[in-house]
Amino acid sequence: MTEARISVLCSGNGTNLQALIDSCASDAPDSIKGKIVKVTVNRKGAYATTRAEKAGIPTDYFNLVKDGYHELGEKDPAKLKEARLRYDADLAKRILQDKPDLIVLAGWMHVLTTNFLRPVSEAGVPIINLHPALPGAYDGAGAINRAYEDSKAGKLKDNTTGIMIHYVIAEVDRGEPILVQKIKIEEGESLEDLEWKIHGYEHDLIVKATALLAEKISAAKALKM
């Protein structure tokens, strides 16, 4: 089969995962030409697990504490850093066992170190992530809230924020953008309304970007057959 093998990493409810699942199952011309081979979660009770199981997709709950990388409540920065590096190295091994062609971070709340990024890059597997901000703006956590506060303070250019799908590199949210969507913050709009609006755009953009890369991967695999 030449379809792209996709591994998805999630931490929470999995609404973006659901959008990916639905597109993979669709016969629409613009649907994802690929198969989700594994959904990995790092938080107990993440509903993404249920979504994957309902779709018949294998899941893996892999957690820093549960799997013995550090004790619950550990505060020592050196121990936490060492645990994170070991966890990321082992996470890469687990993901690569499935021989994915593409890794999609869909609400994955864990910044990946080079101990994950290096072996995945060496295996030739691209990693993409969804970030709720325009390129170069509001890197890291709390991006929607920071854009909203700047909008209220009159500091946001054209009162416009956005979202992007980008390649993942060591610098957080600084990888090359694949697709970008600008989103206007309307006068009188609440933070909650803005969050809902942005999440709606997220589902569409993550599917479009995944479909775009899956198409290229499938075409490249077909040429090798």
131 is catalytic: yes
pTM score, whole prediction: 0.94
* CA angle at 105 for the pair 107 and 206, rounded to the nearest 5°: 85
Selecting among 70, 131, 166, 203, the annotated active-site residue is 131
CB neighbour list of residue 128: distance below 8 Å, 6 or more residues apart: 102, 103, 104, 105, 165, 166, 167, 168, 178, 209, 210, 213
Q: What is the pLDDT along the chain (225 residues), one digit of tens a residue?
A: 689 999 999 999 999 999 999 999 999 999 999 999 999 999 999 999 999 999 999 999 999 999 999 999 999 999 999 999 999 999 999 999 999 999 999 999 999 999 999 999 999 999 999 999 999 999 988 999 999 999 999 999 999 999 999 999 988 888 899 999 999 999 999 999 999 999 989 999 999 999 999 999 999 888 887
Other C-beta atoms closer than 10 Å to the C-beta of 24 total 22
